[in-house]
C-alpha cells in the first residue's frame, strides 16, 4: 500500500469541506455526461469549455490553454467544426489568421443543460440576507483562492507551463 492510500486527514473534516469534495466529484460526473451528450472526448470538451468562456480564441491561444501542440490543436478544432460545435472565422484585422468560436447552436444547447442548475444556486444565494450572502461569497472566494494556490504549486512541481489566467 502506498503513502497516498494511507493518508487520512488529521481530524474529522468539517461538513463544508466534505461538501466541497462532493461538488468536485459531481462536477466530474456532470462533465462526463455533457461530453457524452455532446459526443466529445475529454480534450475536445476542454477546448469547448475554453471557447465558451472566451467566446473567441486564436488556434495558438487554444493550443496554449490546452497545453497541446499546434498540430494536435488543429485536429481538435477540425473535430469540433465537423460536429458543429465550433466555427472558424477570419481574424477581424489580420486576414492570415483565424478565430475559433463556439457555434450558436452549441452555446444554446450547453446553456439549456446547465442554466437550470446555475439559476437554482443563484436563487438560493439570493434567499439569504446581505450578511449571509457576504459569508457565502467570502467562503467561496477562499475556496477559489485555495484551489488556485494548489494549482500553482502543482504546476511548479511538475514543471508544466502555467495555465492562462482566468477572468474571475
CATH code of 85's domain: 1.10.10.10
User: What pTM did the predictor assign?
Assistant: 0.77
Ramachandran area for residue 141 (φ above 0: left; ψ -120 to 50: alpha; else beta): alpha
Q: Is there a domain that residue 76 lies in? A: yes
Phi and psi at 61, nearest 5°, equal -65, -40
Q: Where are the beta strands (DSSP E) in 29-141?
A: 86-90, 98-102
Q: Is there a domain that residue 35 lies in? A: yes
Domain span at 65:
11-103
The string of pLDDT tens digits covering residues 112-124 is 999 999 999 999 9
Q: Is there a domain that residue 152 lies in? A: no
Q: Is there a domain that residue 121 lies in? A: no
| Alpha-carbon distances of 165 from 54, 73, 101, 151, rounded to whole Å | 12, 19, 19, 12
Q: How far apart are CA 79 and CA 74, in angstroms?
A: 9
The string of pLDDT tens digits covering residues 29-78 is 999 999 999 999 999 999 999 999 999 999 999 999 999 999 999 999 99
Amino acid at each position: 500500500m502506498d503513502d497516498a492510500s494511507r493518508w487520512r486527514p488529521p481530524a474529522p473534516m468539517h461538513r463544508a469541506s466534505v461538501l466541497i469534495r462532493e461538488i468536485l466529484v459531481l462536477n466530474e460526473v456532470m462533465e462526463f455526461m455533457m461530453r457524452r451528450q455532446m459526443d466529445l472526448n475529454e480534450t475536445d470538451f476542454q477546448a469547448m469549455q475554453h471557447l465558451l468562456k472566451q467566446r473567441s480564441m486564436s488556434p495558438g491561444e487554444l493550443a496554449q490553454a490546452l497545453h497541446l501542440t499546434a498540430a494536435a490543436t488543429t485536429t481538435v478544432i477540425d473535430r469540433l467544426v465537423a460536429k458543429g460545435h465550433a466555427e472558424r472565422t477570419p481574424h477581424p484585422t489580420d486576414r492570415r489568421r483565424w478565430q475559433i468560436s463556439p457555434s450558436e447552436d452549441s452555446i444554446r444547447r450547453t446553456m439549456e443543460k446547465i442554466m437550470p442548475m446555475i439559476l437554482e444556486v443563484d436563487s438560493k444565494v439570493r434567499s439569504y440576507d446581505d450578511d449571509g450572502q457576504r459569508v457565502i461569497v467570502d467562503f467561496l472566494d477562499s475556496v477559489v483562492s485555495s484551489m488556485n494556490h494548489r494549482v500553482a504549486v502543482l504546476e511548479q512541481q511538475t514543471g508544466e507551463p502555467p495555465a492562462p489566467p482566468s477572468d474571475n
